[in-house]
Amino acid sequence: MPDGSADDRLDLPIDEKTTITLKKPITVAGKLVDQLVLREPTTGELRAAGDGENATATVIILASRVCAVPEAAIEQMAASDYAKVQRFFMQFMRDDRLTGRP
């Protein structure tokens, strides 16, 4: 259930970053990581992520590139953490964000 925290709102100005606290830490280079810093992806990152075999793979590739974390580490995320990452990236694809119109 949303509690109004930054993780739930994720409606930031398009040029900002956000830090997502993971419900379940992931292991990166032998260390536990409990937060990911996300930023707006570049067009090149979107293009590269588009090579994923499905929508989930696309988000995993994109998160890996944006966070500089191996895909294998991103794949360790709990489903609820994945959903937060997915919502963050989707805010950049909304029509009103791209056109300035509601």
Query: What residue spans define the domains of the chain?
Result: 6-95
Residues of the chain with pLDDT > 70: what percent? 76
pLDDT of residue 5: 52
pLDDT tens digits along 56-100: 999 999 999 999 999 999 999 999 999 999 999 988 876 554 445
The alpha-carbon radius of gyration of the chain (Å, integer) is: 13
- Residue 27 confidence class, pLDDT cut points 50, 70, 90: very high
Tell me how far apart the alpha carbons of residues 34 and 32 are, in angstroms, rounded to a whole number: 7
H, E, C per residue of the chain: CCCCCHHHHCCCCCCCCEEEEEEEEEEECCEEEEEEEECCCCHHHHHHHCCCCCHHHHHHHHHHHHHCCCHHHHCCCCHHHHHHHHHHHHCCCCHHHHHCCC
Tell me how far apart the alpha carbons of residues 53 and 22 are, in angstroms, rounded to a whole number: 25
**pTM confidence score:** 0.76
